[in-house]
Amino acid sequence: AQKVTQAQTEISVVEKEDVTLDCVYETRDTTYYLFWYKQPPSGELVFLIRRNSFDEQNEISGRYSWNFQKSTSSFNFTITASQVVDSAVYFCALSEVDSSYKLIFGSGTRLLVRP
């Protein structure tokens, strides 16, 4: 059965610190997709990134970077030089081809960036 685990319930950092959010997933499929979403205090869910299971290349987008490792079933998210505006709940999600792409979400990690 598919499952996404975000063990860090809440993280608090001081502005400009780097922070890594962990995500571990379980799936029996060989073809799947992994996602990160951001939910700021306003409540909407903002799509950040998608990765397919055949692409283990790390990705960097500005201050954001993602480390996908199939060997450890992990898809971790790092924010470099965090800012107060990064404060939000971050969700990791898994989508399997066989399940018609429905998303299975982790429980989320609440990030608080203090000035």
> Interface with another protein by CB under 8 A: which residues?
33, 35, 37, 43-45, 47, 50, 52, 91, 95, 97, 99-108
Q: Which is nearer to another protein, 74 or 99 (CB)?
A: 99
Residue 102 CB, nearest approach to another protein (Å): 5
CA distance 89 to 65: 17
Residue 21 CB, nearest approach to another protein (Å): 16
The answer to whether the Cα torsion of 13, 115, 78, 4 is positive or negative is: positive
Q: Which is nearer to another protein, 14 or 46 (CB)?
A: 46
Three-state secondary structure call for residue 62: coil
Residue 17 CB, nearest approach to another protein (Å): 27
Q: Which is nearer to another protein, 9 or 71 (CB)?
A: 9
Residue 43 CB, nearest approach to another protein (Å): 6
User: In terms of Cα–Cα distance, which of 35, 34, 37 is closest to 47?
Assistant: 37
Beta-strand pair 74-79/19-21: antiparallel
CB neighbour list of residue 60: distance below 8 Å, 6 or more residues apart = 66
Q: Which is nearer to another protein, 82 or 89 (CB)?
A: 89
